[in-house]
Amino acid sequence: MHSFRLRLIVALIVGVTLLSVASTYFEVLAHKHMLRQELERRSVWMGTSIQSDFENALANGNRQVLNQLTERLKTRTGVLGLAIFDANGQMLSSYGPAPILQILPQEIIKKSIEKGAVEGGFGHNDETQWLVEAFPLHNGSTMAGSLVVLADASYIRAQTNDLWARSFWWA
């Protein structure tokens, strides 16, 4: 009889623990998804608001003005980085962390230029996570290039880790 009680107690503890871990897992996934959607929404809003500035700068063809505009708007928007590409996918101007700007996914930029639509995706290296949003730039009716907005997504991992820790502390 004593052995039965002990097994029942252990089974209940294991069952409650597994249920708690499963519940936390789905809660973390939902929270992470919500944070990513919000970051995408903010990045699209920022990119759309500065898109016309870059279209005008590209139409003028002055590279110095383009570099100054990239630096000024990166600082004003608070994004991780900004880059401008021509219609062939060659970088014209950038401002932000060079290691990340060098490994930008070219397929996102090319899709944005080919489709004439906003394209995006998440990326990471050892210490940083980011969101890449590429916006098509037009010169009248022709495709002039792409504006790439890099947004810092590192806080998403920190918040999900915090959610795991709080959940385990509560359990």
Give me the chain's average pLDDT, please. Answer: 88
Is the pLDDT at 127 greater than 90? The verdict is no
Residue 1: predicted pLDDT = 63
> How is residue 31 annotated by DSSP?
H
Residue with tokens 């890099």: 150
Residue 171 scores a pLDDT above 80 = no
Q: Report whether pLDDT(62) > 80.
A: no
For residue 151, what are the CA distances in angstroms to 23, 83, 129? 30, 12, 9
112 or 63: which carries more pLDDT confidence? Answer: 112
Sheet order of strands, 129-139 included? 91-95, 81-86, 142-152, 129-139, 119-124
Strand bridging mode 91-95 / 142-152:
unpaired
Sequential DSSP letters for 49-116: HHHHHHHHHHHHT-HHHHHHHHHHHHHHHT-SEEEEEETTS-EEEEES-HHHHHT--HHHHHHHHHHT
pLDDT for 105: 87
- pLDDT over threshold 80, residue 165: yes
What does the alpha-carbon distance between residue 49 and residue 55 come to, in Å, rounded to a whole number?
12
Residue 164 CA to residue 98 CA, distance in Å, equals: 33
- pTM assigned to the model: 0.81
pLDDT, tens digit, 9 for 90 and up, residues 1-43: 678 888 888 889 888 888 888 888 898 899 999 999 999 999 9
Place of tokens 């950038």: 94
pLDDT-derived band at 149 (thresholds 50, 70, 90) equals: very high
